[in-house]
Chain A
Amino acid sequence: MDILISDKWLRNWLTTKATPKQLESCLSLCGPSVEKIEKVNGDLVYHIEITTNRVDSASVYGIAREAAAILPRFKIPAKLRPMADKPKQKFVKKVSYLNAKVDPSLCSRFTAVLIKNVKIADSPKWLQENLKAVGERPINNIVDISNFVMHEVGQPVHTFDYDKIKNKKMILRNSKKGESITTLDGKQHKLPGGDIVIEDGSDKLIDLCGIMGGNASAVDGSTKNVLLFVQTYNPSKIRTTSMKLAQRTGAAVLFEKGLSTQLVSTGITRAIELFGQIPGSVVKNNILDIYPNPKKIKYVTLTSDFIEKLLGIKIKNKDITKYLNSLDFKASWKGKDLTVVIPPHRSLDVTIAEDVVEEIARIYGYHNLPSELMAGSLPEKNPLNTFTFEREIKTILKELKAVETYTLSLVAKKFEEENALKLRNPLGKDGEYLRTSLMPSLLAAANTNTGHHGPLQIFEMANVYIPRKNDLPKEKLILAGVFENYNFRTAKGIIEKLLNLLNIAYKTKIEGVKNYKPSQRLVFENGAIAFGEFGNLENGFAYYQFDVEKLHKFANNIKTFIQPSQYPPQIEDITLVLPGKTKVGELIKSMKQSSGLVSKIELTDIYKDSYTFNIWYQNPQKTLNDKEVKTIREKLLGVAKSKHGAIQKD
């Protein structure tokens, strides 16, 4: 959470000559991070990030306490002014002016005190200035005190118009689903149920606890008697309600992080002090304090060896004591053993030895620690991983002019199979399902580029999520790609080249499925195992996808050397006229099989029904003469004619 702290306000509690710049850099290195300093009407305001575990420092006093511990480490003297945490009044379990019934699982400490004859007026100028500096609009003396105490102490405080509480009765309980309350800002909320609320003697809800007071019991211009109200609420309850109702008030943000019950006492003390300054007001002598399970003092024990092991260096015991005591801890040594008493405001945060080491280390200063790579033996590689192979595929595709994309794995229902995994809380209908195929995403990617001229080739390598019963889905790594404005042969050549370079042996078969044009999809197989597909889609794109794990299994990374023949081939071009619907792939296969001396056939040109082939005749043992070539050629043409009806063009 980010908070604003006024420099003037801070110096009410912190006596130091540190400049704002020094405060900024020292605090950032050893404590809460100061993001920036802003000038506001003759004051300076620190923007400070408070981590969730350090809500105790989310206030003027909290920051002053941190600064008082940190600044001396930079040789800048600093002193914290103590803040009173006990009022003159008495904390009692029952009071005559309020009959409260409190569920302790919702509210671990409940305090309230009646203040009579409060005259509504503007707050004193100094108080208004402080509030304005941190962006709070002064309203009147009562409301301003609540805001002031929250900023200064870090404890939210609420005030009710006492005379609006029916029968002087309060029941603090869980809300029922559908109950409604109108809050101070005029908004009406239908409650989700399980929210902490207060009901008065007329069964009406008068407070949405920890978030915002109810309108029905709000302080207004005619208020005379004020019920001052300071509590510790169940943090996760507050967070749930505040998120569900989208009411992220300052109070909610503090309560949901878990406040110390000790702070209730400090908060009410400070508020009573300020109310006491309003002329004529009378604070009742008894403060109602429902606190059935007071927090016990906590200790953590550890040793100097442990501190040294975790830090990597040795710090003197007396320095450790000094650092801890400056943060209100109480450190005591017995030889190497250290016992640390945890102050109440840190009891939720500091619970184990490591937490104490963190306090020592940050005050010592992480920047003062040396920096060294670890020695020791190295771990072994995980043999199951295929990162290098995946990268090789990507490199090949890049060389083949493909462009890589990363698309979102969350897709709309219309793109998915019936059983695809569904999210319980998607960000929208477009990303409700975990994809089981990359195809829809890649088609969308191709469609993004409709304005693109010329051939286009996009690919992605990503997991798809195949559901499994009572288990996590199978995360299957898929390589998929789409071609646009590519002729079929060029696209297919890219796939063939990829498989050649990966040294994968394969056969193909034609097999139609949904989304592909009939009989225009090839399935790639190694043995009897299909590992991928390529073909023309209904929408005109060519598309491919492969199972990367299988590619890896079938890829042979041992490349055998082939001795180039010392006898040159005879090469010639032959043009054949093919009857309609001839499968050229089959024709080439037949021609090649016509003789063992046909070493290579390439289709080089197509003009209407004329197909030109570049044919190599080669005998590894000798140079073929024209007569021998003639015999092979005749055999080849014979097969072409008899099996496929292909005739040589004159």
Chain B
Amino acid sequence: MKETLINLKNQAIAQIGDTSTQEELETIRQEMFGRSGKITKITRELKNVNKEERKEIGILLNDIKNTLQNVISTKSNNLKNSTRTWFDVTIPGKKPKIGHLHLVTQAIDEISKTFENVGFVRARYPEVEWDWFAFESLNMPSDHAARDEWETFFVDTPKHPKFGSMVLTPHTSSGQVREMMRVGSPPIRMINIAKCYRRQIDVSHYPMFHQFEGLVIDKGISIVNLKGTLDYFAKNFFGENRKTRLRPYNFQFTEPSFEVDISCDICSGNGCKLCKEGWLELGGAGMVHPDVLKAGKIDPKVYTGFAFGWGVERTFMMKAGLNIPDIRLMYSSDLRILTQY
């Protein structure tokens, strides 16, 4: 009995090895394990074997069953592999055509989300604006350089008796007094993102660009809060390890005024070719000038505030590490540029 079994096993393994198709393999499987297969039969006859031998034969039989099933399935896999049709997975994929949103749209999305998360309210104010909102109410003297024809576009219309000339707004700051008038009384946390125009065109200037303006007015707003807001923005917009610093600067509508720098992420603040001693310039900021609060009918004895206004394009380019050599390319309609983002 034992010998018959071992012979059967060896014979079967040899036959399995000789098969070259799945069909042949299946025939052998049937011969062994089918309803009237050899192994099936022996299993059935096991009860006739005497008690002493039965245990031993049983173990052997089980062992042979397992071995043969393993051999069959391995062979089956081998046959499958060898008979599979040739297929080239290195062939390039067909990329679906998709649409693209402009960099400025993407930038505005991110900037507004960052500020909306800490309670800022998005706003938008006229792109064609009266001199009064763009300059006069912002404490800019009538002979200020920004108000002359070399820097700001003027619209060829008669002057407004109260608000003066019509201009293309050169900054989002013209929304400051408009927001104060809309809200009436603080708290104000505005993030005004809008188109601006300046009379300049070269590699780093385009006559049309975008700015975002933060304005916070409430009781007890201090430079410490401005620093807190800027650090929050730097961490959430640029990355957890970024820091900001303030340097003295000058704007008519803020006092004190600052230039805001952000730590460089290329050199982690150690100084490199792209930055100045580890810092990159972000833009201007300051504490709202009391004259501006007065223009917006807010009492500077009760309320204080801060403001900052930066270029959307520039800030986003700094984040994305985009080294666009000429800002004018951002306003090109060339698909080879527009579809990069």
User: In the complex the two chains form, is B256's CB within 8 Å of A379's CB?
Assistant: no
- Residues 267-320 of A at the B interface (beta carbon under 8 Å): 309-313
With A239-B145, A425-B153 known as contacts, the answer to whether A456 contacts B130 (CB < 8 A) is no
With A312-B225, A358-B255, A452-B335 known as contacts, the answer to whether A239 contacts B277 (CB < 8 A) is no
User: In the complex the two chains form, is A310's CB within 8 Å of B222's CB?
Assistant: yes
- Distance between Cα atoms of A379 and B217 in the complex (Å): 10
Q: Is the interface of B mostly helix, strand, loop or mixed?
A: mixed
- Distance between Cα atoms of A379 and B160 in the complex (Å): 32
- Distance between Cα atoms of A434 and B109 in the complex (Å): 26
With A376-B218, A401-B98, A421-B128 known as contacts, the answer to whether A354 contacts B256 (CB < 8 A) is yes
- With both chains docked as a complex, state the minimum distance between the C-beta of B241 and any C-beta of chain A, in angstroms: 15
Q: List residues of chain A with CB within 8 A of the CB of B160.
A: 470
With A51-B250, A391-B109 known as contacts, the answer to whether A403 contacts B121 (CB < 8 A) is no
User: In the complex the two chains form, is A29's CB within 8 Å of B101's CB?
Assistant: no
- Residues 213-254 of A at the B interface (beta carbon under 8 Å): 235-236, 239-240, 243
A584 at the interface (CB under 8 A from B): no
User: In the complex the two chains form, is A374's CB within 8 Å of B225's CB?
Assistant: yes
Nearest neighbor of B281 in chain A, beta-carbon distance = A33
Q: List residues of chain A with CB within 8 A of the CB of B295.
A: none
A31 at the interface (CB under 8 A from B): yes
- With both chains docked as a complex, state the minimum distance between the C-beta of A364 and any C-beta of chain B, in angstroms: 10
With A444-B333, A448-B332 known as contacts, the answer to whether A367 contacts B245 (CB < 8 A) is yes
User: In the complex the two chains form, is B277's CB within 8 Å of A25's CB?
Assistant: yes
- With both chains docked as a complex, state the minimum distance between the C-beta of B106 and any C-beta of chain A, in angstroms: 10
- Residues 279-300 of B at the A interface (beta carbon under 8 Å): 287, 289-290
- Residues 368-397 of A at the B interface (beta carbon under 8 Å): 369-374, 376-382, 385, 387, 391, 394-395, 397
- With both chains docked as a complex, state the minimum distance between the C-beta of A337 and any C-beta of chain B, in angstroms: 16
A458 at the interface (CB under 8 A from B): yes
Q: B102, B188, B206: which has the most chain A beta carbons within 10 Å?
A: B102
- With both chains docked as a complex, state the minimum distance between the C-beta of A498 and any C-beta of chain B, in angstroms: 12
With A371-B231, A424-B149, A452-B335 known as contacts, the answer to whether A313 contacts B143 (CB < 8 A) is no
Q: Is the interface of A mostly helix, strand, loop or mixed?
A: mixed
A95-103, A130-138, A405-413, A610-618 - the one binding chain B: A405-413
User: In the complex the two chains form, is B109's CB within 8 Å of A425's CB?
Assistant: no
Q: List residues of chain B with CB within 8 A of the CB of A449.
A: 333-335
User: In the complex the two chains form, is A399's CB within 8 Å of B99's CB?
Assistant: yes
With A30-B248, A366-B223 known as contacts, the answer to whether A35 contacts B276 (CB < 8 A) is yes
B273 at the interface (CB under 8 A from A): no
- With both chains docked as a complex, state the minimum distance between the C-beta of B142 and any C-beta of chain A, in angstroms: 8
User: In the complex the two chains form, is A394's CB within 8 Å of B105's CB?
Assistant: yes
- Residues 189-232 of B at the A interface (beta carbon under 8 Å): 189-190, 195, 197, 199, 201, 206-208, 216, 218-225, 227-232
B339 at the interface (CB under 8 A from A): yes
User: In the complex the two chains form, is A369's CB within 8 Å of B227's CB?
Assistant: yes
User: In the complex the two chains form, is B248's CB within 8 Å of A31's CB?
Assistant: yes
Nearest neighbor of A401 in chain B, beta-carbon distance = B99
- Distance between Cα atoms of A35 and B124 in the complex (Å): 35
B46 at the interface (CB under 8 A from A): no
Q: A236, A312, A421, A458: which has the most chain B beta carbons within 10 Å?
A: A312
User: In the complex the two chains form, is B333's CB within 8 Å of A379's CB?
Assistant: no
User: In the complex the two chains form, is B149's CB within 8 Å of A371's CB?
Assistant: no
Q: List residues of chain A with CB within 8 A of the CB of B287.
A: 310, 354
A595 at the interface (CB under 8 A from B): no
With A31-B248, A445-B333, A473-B128 known as contacts, the answer to whether A403 contacts B339 (CB < 8 A) is yes
User: In the complex the two chains form, is B289's CB within 8 Å of A354's CB?
Assistant: yes
User: In the complex the two chains form, is B156's CB within 8 Å of A472's CB?
Assistant: no
User: In the complex the two chains form, is A409's CB within 8 Å of B208's CB?
Assistant: yes
Q: List residues of chain A with CB within 8 A of the CB of B173.
A: none
Nearest neighbor of B187 in chain A, beta-carbon distance = A379
Q: List residues of chain A with CB within 8 A of the CB of B156.
A: 421-424
User: In the complex the two chains form, is A404's CB within 8 Å of B246's CB?
Assistant: no
- Distance between Cα atoms of A366 and B197 in the complex (Å): 32
Nearest neighbor of A449 in chain B, beta-carbon distance = B335
User: In the complex the two chains form, is A408's CB within 8 Å of B118's CB?
Assistant: no
Q: List residues of chain A with CB within 8 A of the CB of B123.
A: 382, 385
- Distance between Cα atoms of A431 and B258 in the complex (Å): 34
- Distance between Cα atoms of A376 and B189 in the complex (Å): 11
- Distance between Cα atoms of A404 and B44 in the complex (Å): 77
B154 at the interface (CB under 8 A from A): yes
Q: A-facing mask of B119-138, CB < 8 A → 1, else 0?
A: 10111101111100000000
Name B residues whose Cβ lies closer than 8 Å to a Cβ of A: 97-102, 104-105, 109, 112, 118-119, 121-124, 126-130, 143, 145, 148-150, 153-158, 160, 166, 168, 182-183, 187-190, 195, 197, 199, 201, 206-208, 216, 218-225, 227-232, 245-250, 255-259, 276-277, 287, 289-290, 304, 330-335, 338-339
27 intermolecular pairs with C-beta atoms under 8 Å apart: A25-B277, A28-B277, A30-B247, A51-B248, A54-B250, A243-B150, A354-B287, A354-B290, A355-B256, A373-B225, A374-B216, A374-B228, A374-B229, A376-B187, A381-B121, A387-B112, A391-B105, A397-B99, A398-B100, A405-B333, A405-B338, A410-B153, A422-B155, A434-B168, A444-B333, A449-B333, A475-B127
